[in-house]
Amino acid sequence: MTSSSKQTAEANYLWGHLIAQGLADLGITTVFFSPGSRSTPLIIGCEKEQKLSCFPVLDERSAAFLALGHAKRTRLPVALICTSGSALTHWFPAVTEASYSGIPLFLLSADRPPELQECGAGQTINQSELFGSFVRGFHQAPVPSLEKEAISELQGILQTAYSQSTGRAAGPVHLNFSFREPLWPTDGFALNLPDFPPLSPSPLSEQPKLRECLDAVKSIKPPSRPVVIAGLNTPSSLPQVFKEIPILCDSLCALREADHPARILRFENLLRCPEFCKSVSPDQFILLGSLPTSKTLRTWIEESGAPRLVVEPSGRKVDPLCGTSQSTTLNFDQLDNIPLASPEQDWLETWIHAEQSVEKKLSQAFLEIPWIHEPKIARILSEYLPAGSQLYCANSMPIRDLEWFWQPGKQMRKLWGARGVNGIDGTLGTALGLAHQSDQPTYLLTGELAFLHDSNALLFASELIGSLTIILINNQGGGIFENLPVANLPEFEKCFATPQSCDFAKLCSAHAVEYLHNEGEKELIAHIINPPRQGIRVIEIRTDRKADREVRQRLLSLTP
């Protein structure tokens, strides 16, 4: 090895150590990486750092969603490592979801050095600013060097990236590292690593000043008929005055699993009833975060003409509706600063009585509905999931069944989903990320299309530390399209429903994953109550999407 090559190898070695140490200093504990040569300094550096737990994932796309799910649960940045070229483009779907749902990710990509850019070098693309506005920041690290100035710059980049990722508008950050060959020292090499001052995990953006946040609410007169729309990030603890106001809860809102006297879950039924809508006329909406996806709810809000106060701590615009709207970046623990008073007499009681009436009718109807129907499966999960457990719900029909038919609970079970971009991609990987290293059992409710779309995530089965029970609804296609006008077209099955002929038993067997084809309601309940202590269990339930459409319509037609 020449003197120049030796110095390059030493610098790469030092860089891997510094980056790993910096991640650990900043509080990052988990790294998901995909194999590659150019990323050798990053991978080996992290693997040698005792404070980091590193997990290999063959598919970069699955790795990104695993990191996303893990960061959702921990609310701490999770690191991703991949090699150069097309590898990091597979992160893109997870990056967009993380961006819109405010999940902190550290994207560490390896790259060719500057002299190998734009000259036809293999496995090389322009990785600069690859993720555009979907990341909170992009940082091109200097080429590894033993010089103090370069080392200081690297540490500054790590510090700034952490602040960007975990600030008020949390999200992913992208750090790109160019490595020259030789990528790692030869055998027997030992470098005396100097001690560097540890990095400090301090957020970049401070919480907004209360006086500035209150500007949007100064003109609000205390309403007499307010309605709160609680988005998925709304905490289960709210100021006392909110116990006197109807709170319409998003499908993933923590209030669904808290004993709150003002929560309203059956708003889909209530707002489909013209008589009920005539009896309630709000004079103020208070939106806590993003709106639920319900078109019925959104149409009612717009048509009411009542003004909206949108509370979104991140500062993102989350109100797509027309009409009078004001926004504030108040934190949810500052909601007592909103000028509210006790609403008019019987305002909350009107909602509560209607809610109880619909809930009673739903409970009676479910007694007569066989367990093999998708709405009933969601209802069973709401009744039997263990206290403190977590459920990840796929988009399309599963999340709607949860929103429409989840029985109110108070067992503080955590409900999760992909509400940033609302796609089905990464469903299995995200659920595995939630389950990984969790001390509570995790469940996934998904259709077969979302499961197959991300089936590569099963490659992580042998690495999983935790438990994941998958309720796999196989209705031979995309059930959500049954509710659209295209369902009556002759091209519907081929172009929209897209049924897949997959033998899930064989797919699970190929990955050494436990598979069950459930044959009864009692067996399903038993598996829900008694999840595996370790590993993945898949329970396939075959349903009829056309019959389930009729069941849903019948259930949603129940009125107060």
The edge-to-edge listing of strands for the beta sheet with 30-33 is: 53-56, 30-33, 78-82, 105-111, 172-178, 138-140
Rounded to the nearest 5°, which phi and psi values hold at 175? -120, 125
**DSSP letters spanning 10-41:** HHHHHHHHHHHHHHHHTT--EEEE---STTHH
Tell me the whole-structure pTM to 2 decimals: 0.94
- Tell me what pLDDT residue 156 has: 93
Asked whether the predicted pLDDT for residue 125 surpasses 60, the reply is: yes
| Environment class of 225 (CB within 10 Å of its CB; exposed 0-12, middle 13-18, buried 19+) | middle
Q: What is the pLDDT of residue 123?
A: 85
Residues 449-481: pLDDT tens digits? Answer: 999 999 999 999 999 999 999 999 999 988 888
What is residue 534's predicted lDDT score, i.e. its pLDDT?
A: 97
Q: Is 218 helix (H, G, I), strand (E, B) or coil?
A: coil
Q: How distant, in Å, are the alpha carbons of 9, 10, 54, 264 from that of 1?
A: 10, 12, 30, 71
194 pLDDT tier (thresholds 50, 70, 90): low
Q: Give the residue carrying structure tokens 């007169």.
A: 221
SS3 assignment, position 119: coil
Coil/strand/helix, residue 413: coil
* Count of H-run helices and E-run strands, the chain: 18, 18
- Identify which of 395, 427, 372, 400 has the alpha carbon closest to the alpha carbon of residue 541: 372
CA–CA dist 223, 263 (Å, integer) = 19
Asked whether the beta carbons of 397 and 479 are under 8 A apart, the reply is yes
Per-residue pLDDT of 53-99, as tens digits, reads: 999 999 999 999 999 999 999 999 999 999 999 999 999 999 999 99
What is the per-residue pLDDT for 141?
95
For tokens 């949108």, name the residue: 310
